[in-house]
């Protein structure tokens, strides 16, 4: 008869295998045929009537000045969530309202499918892109840097904060808000948004709305999460079994000594 320990080993090995496979699949970009037509639109930047305002967060007061109204349809190619436990730079600066950076492409960069030939990554302040090894470099001219932006997202609204956490690589999104500059007593200088798409600056956006229009790789992301949890449970079971066995040995040795 198969023991519970043998079954647990099999489940652990299977879940780790599925976790590893899904890890490499969950962040794949969708094919260009899956891109929504709205993503062909360039960002919309208009004059704003919004007045400066203050945000209180974690004991810090931030002064936010809207510069323009802003709206964007795009696909997330890279992200950096400053709520992750290993992210310390924003924590040290007491910048608690820049919750996440989303690097986004639109227009010709999604229509051509050129994004499939590029690698994207996010640093603390910047989005990077480079050519994939083995890709056809003659197609490089298809990529247009002015149809990519790194967006520093600000918010103090819980429902918007929750949505920013859900936005992942490959997702097609739409957001509205203001391009802003903001500061606090802890910041040496205000952070100021770029207001043109032709420079290397980043957009600093106070969000008033964010929606995920189309999630990417739902199956693989669900499998990644589920298999990881199953593997963790199996590891805990093994550790528990190990501790129980150690306890039995110690107890048995204690009885032998008492018998002696």
pTM reported for the whole predicted model:
0.81
**Which of the residues in the chain have pLDDT under 50?**
1, 85-86
Task: List, for residues 2-18, the tens digit of each pLDDT value.
Answer: 577 788 788 888 888 98
Helix (H) or strand (E) holding 24: helix 4-25
Q: Are 151 and 103 in contact (CB under 8 A)?
A: yes
pLDDT, residue 1, reads: 39
pLDDT, residue 115, reads: 93
Task: List, for residues 135-151, the tens digit of each pLDDT value.
Answer: 666 667 789 999 999 99
């Amino acid at each position: 008869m198969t023991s519970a320990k043998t079954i647990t080993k099999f489940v652990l090995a299977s879940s780790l295998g599925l976790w590893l496979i899904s890890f490499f699949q969950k962040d794949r970009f969708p094919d260009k045929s899956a891109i929504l037509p709205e993503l062909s639109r360039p960002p919309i930047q208009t004059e704003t009537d919004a007045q400066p305002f203050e945000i209180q967060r974690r004991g810090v007061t931030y002064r936010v000045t809207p510069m323009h109204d802003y709206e964007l349809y795009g696909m997330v190619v890279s992200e950096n969530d400053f709520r992750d436990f290993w992210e310390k730079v924003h924590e040290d600066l007491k910048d608690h309202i820049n919750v996440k950076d989303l690097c986004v492409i639109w227009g010709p960069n999604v229509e051509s499918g050129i994004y499939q030939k590029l690698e994207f990554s996010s640093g603390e302040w910047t989005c990077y892109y480079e050519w994939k090894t083995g890709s056809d470099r003659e197609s490089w001219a298809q990529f247009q840097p002015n149809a990519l932006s790194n967006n520093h997202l600000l918010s103090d609204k819980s429902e918007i904060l929750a949505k920013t956490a859900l936005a992942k690589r490959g997702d097609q999104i739409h957001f509205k808000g203001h391009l802003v500059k903001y500061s606090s007593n802890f910041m040496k200088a205000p952070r100021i948004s770029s207001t043109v798409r032709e420079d290397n600056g980043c957009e600093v956006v106070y969000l008033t709305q964010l929606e995920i229009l189309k999630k990417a790789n739902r199956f693989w992301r669900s499998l990644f999460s589920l298999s990881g949890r199953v593997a963790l449970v199996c590891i805990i079971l093994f550790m528990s079994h190990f501790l129980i066995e150690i306890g039995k040995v110690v107890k048995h040795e204690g009885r032998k000594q008492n018998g002696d």
